[in-house]
A and B are shown apart, each in its own frame.
Chain A
Amino acid sequence: MSNVEQEDVETFRQRARSFIRNNLQPISSDALVFPLRNVRNDDEELTAVAREREVQRMLFDAGLAGICFPRKYGGQELTPAHQRALNEEFDGYEYPSRLQAPTLSPCAAVLLDFGSEEQKLRHIPAILNGEEIWMQFLSEPSGGSDVAGAQMSAIRDGDEWVLNGSKIWTTGAWWSDWGLCLTRTNWDVPKHRGLSVFILPIHQPGLEVHRIEMLNGSKEFCQEFLTDVRVPDSDRIGGVDDGWTVGTRWMFHERMLTNSPLVTMPTGAGRTSVGATFVHAVAQEAGRASEPHIRDYIGETLMLDIVERELQRRIGDGLATGTMADQAAAVGRLFSGVAATRIRTIAFEIAGGAGAAWTDDDGELAFSGSDFLMRQVSCIGGGTTEMARNVISERVLGMPRERTLDKDIPYRDVPRSASSRT
């Protein structure tokens, strides 16, 4: 801790409140519930990104960025309680949503855990002031859940490494700046022992960003193709072939999602709830808000919102105090994924036929059908709920691990598709 006296939570809250109300725009909550709706064209998206960088810079200058980051890297060195107060004060106001996950967590969190002093000083202040937006170059087309099975190759060439391969499911890589990249540096050892992590600028020769069109027309997800991309050894994070040590913490930070004290995410200050507000609006639009069985759905949605908030808080406290192991973050991840799918189903159910076929006059109802089509995103992105269930049963409850066929043989010899099986 620094020897500057710490600002108490209430003073901080008042400071945050007056800054937010005097400088930021109020917004509707829909944008927060459904970030993947296909509602903006590219120009509008770029304008929104630019505004978020600007807001991040304003927060940085006002001492409201990087609440739990060390002061020497531009942060405030305050506590998760301060971050929580900030999250509450943001409720109903614009905030730099695209600059939170994955930039602040897992990317900046991994830099904090494993970066050299020089790497941290170079990147973390730039992240906190909105100059650098980061993506995780983690999943590959060959498999999302088997993260340690990365096949992106990095081969040493003097003081540099040469990267070849492909990464996928990076949200908004086309307007982002830096990537945190998991690579394979050794094919002659078992899979967890031949990985290394690098950081690299996204916009450079040899790195092609391809935008993936989702079923609802959203093009926010990207795939990257790397051809002979050269990365200096000074941009390696952690030891050579020791990338899984980094990867394990990386995965933990990813499962923490919005529960991470490093991330700003508006929450209802106990009185409002994003999901219930949305479902109530759908019910009103449908003219059905007073029907008893629809009210049952509205009540269920508020229940899920509140229970999730309290669960994430409990896990956050448990991790902070060490009464829960890191793997307990998977409990929150599982709950939030399943609850979100339920809320989308409820909205579609309430919308009735207007969820299936609509006109511009149908307002909020018009989205419920395509939101429903995208429903499983909440159980896939950020690590699937199946992986969360494995982590909870095996790492939290200590049940026997699933049998794997790739543990003790060189990764080169591991079957990687039906056709490569001998």
Chain B
Amino acid sequence: MLLALTDDQELFRETTSKLLGEFVPAEVLRSLQDDAIGFEAEYWRRGADLGWTSLLVGEEHGGGSLSGQGLVDLTLVAHEFGRHAAPGPLAVTNVVAATLSEAGGSQSNGVIGDLLTGRSIATWCFSEPRPHDRLDNGCLDIRVNGDEVVLNGVKRPVESGHGASHLLVSGRTGAGYSQVLVPAGASGMTLATMQSVDLTRRFSVVTFDDVRLPSSTVIGEIGCAGEQVTRQLRRVIAILCAESVGTMQAAFDMTVEWAFDRYSFGRPLASYQELKHRFADMKTWLEASHAVSDAATLAVALGEPDADELLSSAKAFIGDFGSELIQDCVQIHGGIGVTFDHDLHLFLRRHTLNRGLYGTPEEHRQRLADLVTMTESAT
């Protein structure tokens, strides 16, 4: 998280943290394990009242940011989501709201309004099954047929597919990208529930079998939505990274406290140099994760040319070193750290989930290698 917040940002972060502490403490998260949606409607509405879903939406649609950089403000919420392992489709709802707002068009206004008040949620159908599960090789078909569009293909994992009123589906029209806003219950669309490592985030396999919709549901230009998709991907990764850093912070703080409180052989764990040195490594990875996550977010928000290399560095580093950090927190806790009753796994789960979504560290290192090759062959 940013080192220095403005007063507005600090108040916003604090209010968000308070609301999460009140609505979704650890015991509530455990009780939501078998809940079909994973959160209460009232919880999401209260968060929306605070502004969780309006930061990327233009003022003409009723949104607005605190600092002028809505994405930066939103990562403060994401950080708190991570620190509380909070439920709810924060990243995808915001990303869809942003795209609808940027694309304009009157039929989107009602949808945006409901997202802003928290009355409904939206999701983004992006990832696809193997072998089309890389960030750049999705193949769901979006075909134009008169004044209709026809969707065929499969998306997975789709977050909160079951609770969403609208699904923004990315697909291909020939070589180009198109995006369609599909309402829940569209004929030909079926959802199958998936299992996941997270306690409260829900995922589905969504199958599109000749789903026919009026062409007014196309968001942006047919076949020309590549930039839209790239923008969405950048935003979603920035939000996930900030959330993951929040989970690392929570696990780290909890384990530092444990090291001071827990005694063995008559001394606190924190007095053993072997453990102190591991805490020093963890602190270094944690600060580095904060630093690269914040830098990536700002670069995306400002549209800087190095946004992609910062983002992929963040996603790869936070994925790899965050896992090492949280797993070492488990190790230092010992057996209690792998029990359901202990809170540590809430953060381990959320971090693990985010590591696997929107490109693993391995995939992002490949993307970084592409950038090096491009830069070096240009010089």
User: In this assembly, does A271 line the interface, its C-beta being within 8 Å of a C-beta of chain B?
Assistant: yes
Contact B365 A303 (CB under 8 A): yes
Contacts of A396 in B (CB 8 A): 283
Asked whether A38 is an interface residue with its Cβ less than 8 Å from the other chain, the reply is no
Chain B residue with minimal CB distance to A314? Answer: B291
Interface check B140, CB cutoff 8 A: no
Could you give, for residues 106-144 of chain B, a 1 whenever the CB lies within 8 Å of some chain A CB and a 0 otherwise?
Answer: 000000000000000000000000000000000000000
CB pair A306–B276 under 8 Å, yes or no, is no
B256, B276, B279, B291 interface centre (most CB from chain A within 10 Å):
B291
With both chains docked as a complex, state the minimum distance between the C-beta of B312 and any C-beta of chain A, in angstroms.
7
B60 CB to nearest A CB, Å: 32
> Could you say which of A271, A306, A311 contacts B287, with CB atoms under 8 Å apart?
A311
- Is A298 part of the contact surface with B, judged by Cβ < 8 Å? yes
Q: Is there an interface contact between B288 and A311, defined as CB atoms closer than 8 Å?
A: yes
Docked pose: A296 CA to B370 CA in angstroms: 10
Query: What 1/0 flags go to B365-378 for Cβ under 8 Å of A?
Result: 11111011101100
Give the Cβ gap from A244 to chain B, nearest Cβ, in Å. Answer: 23
Chain A min CB distance to B342 (Å): 22
Taking chain A's interface residues, is the majority helix, strand, or loop, or is none over half, making it mixed? helix
Do A296 and B276 have beta carbons less than 8 Å apart?
A: no
Kindly supply a per-residue 1/0 record for chain A positions 308-325, scoring 1 wherever the CB is within 8 Å of any chain B CB and 0 otherwise: 101101110110010110
> In the bound complex, do residue B279 and residue A397 qualify as a contact, i.e. CB atoms below 8 Å apart?
yes
**A206 CB, min distance to chain B CBs, angstroms:** 41
Given the complex, which residues of A lie within 8 Å of B314, measured CB to CB? 307
CB-CB under 8 A for A397 and B284, given A300-B365, A310-B295, A323-B4: no
Task: Flag if B284 contacts A335 (CB, 8 Å).
Answer: yes
A50 interfacial by beta-carbon distance below 8 Å:
no
Which residues of the other chain, B, contact A300 by a CB distance below 8 angstroms? 316, 365, 368
Decide if B288 touches A389 in the complex (CB within 8 Å).
no
Residues of B contacting A310 with CB < 8 Å? Answer: 288, 291-292, 294-295, 310
Q: List 28 A-B contacts (CB under 8 A).
A: A280-B373, A280-B376, A284-B376, A292-B366, A295-B365, A298-B372, A302-B309, A302-B371, A302-B372, A303-B312, A303-B313, A303-B368, A307-B291, A307-B313, A307-B317, A311-B288, A313-B291, A314-B287, A321-B3, A321-B4, A323-B4, A335-B284, A391-B280, A393-B270, A393-B280, A397-B256, A397-B283, A402-B273
Q: Residues of A at under 8 Å CB distance from B?
A: 270-273, 276-277, 280-281, 284, 289, 292, 295-296, 298-303, 306-308, 310-311, 313-315, 317-318, 321, 323-324, 328, 330-331, 334-335, 386, 388-394, 396-397, 399-400, 402
Known: A270-B304, A272-B375, A302-B371. 8 other contacts (CB 8 A): A270-B305, A273-B372, A302-B368, A311-B288, A318-B3, A328-B287, A335-B284, A399-B276
